[in-house]
Amino acid sequence: MKIGFIGLGNMGGPMAANLAKAGHDVTGFDMADVAIEGVTMAKSAAEAATGADVVITMLPNGDILRHVASEIVPAMSAGAAFVDCSTVDVDSARAVADQAAAAGLLSVDAPVSGGIGGAAGGTLTFMAGGSTEAFAKAAPLFDIMGQKAVHCGEAGAGQAAKICNNMILGVTMIATCEAFALADKLGLDRQKMFDVVSTSSGYSWSMNAYCPAPGVGPQSPADNGYQPGFAADLMLKDLRLSQQAAGSADADTPMGQLAEALYTQFVDNEDGKGKDFSAMLPRLEKRGRG
């Protein structure tokens, strides 16, 4: 396929490289001066999109997505697919899908899970929203860039799945960190707590696969000074998106709301910026009840 790829940062760059390595003709654009192996660089987003069978975007937020869409949709050919892999608000995803449909384009919102390592290794999970026809056109590319793609429903469903998943993740990580901090103060050995919880009803991905306590469970960012695997800043972004969506949908999400408030405090007012989201544990272990 002839592919346009817009947004070649830490995630988009490796994804575009994997598509080129698989033999696709990839033309890329980024606001920064970057060079990606196998990718021909364009001078603008519209140039990268012109004549493409599929245009993929990986952008920071909904406002930028809307801006880029207004630039590339007029440049795209009818029947081409606009595949947005950014994590943005559901309203922006649906607005861009409507804009694409009005221009005779297929569209998919397909945010990802798996981080920078998954982008480089081609092991991402894609959560996709859009028509069956649009998903089918994008699916062979998802197979190259990732290991799994789930068609979640119509436009916006991919973003909805991503933010619901990450709201659970943010809440469970806080609960896991609280439990370790409480165990410390009760004199319970962290390894013993892990041995019990990881095989009991309190188990979760946060505990079993990404344990926030150094030296406990499988290797995780906690064993590397909380250097980010998934940054607290990004967790805060996703929690804010979840609460924005909850507001739009009139959904009661008290735990999601509290998780957003705690990560806001941690990132904006404490030392959480630039740390892994599991660094909530050292924050909590230093604090008392008051």
The residues carrying an active-site annotation are 162
> How far is CA 125 from each of CA 142, 143, 187, 272, rounded to the nearest angstrom?
8, 10, 39, 27
Q: Is 229 exposed, middle or buried (0-12, 13-18, 19+ CB in 10 A)?
A: middle
| Strand (E) or helix (H) holding 257 | helix 254-264
> Which residues does 186 contact at the CB level (< 8 Å), separation at least 6?
none
Residue 198 and residue 205: Cα distance in Å, rounded?
9
Residue-by-residue DSSP string for 7-45: --STTHHHHHHHHHHTT-EEEEE-SS----TT-EEPSSH
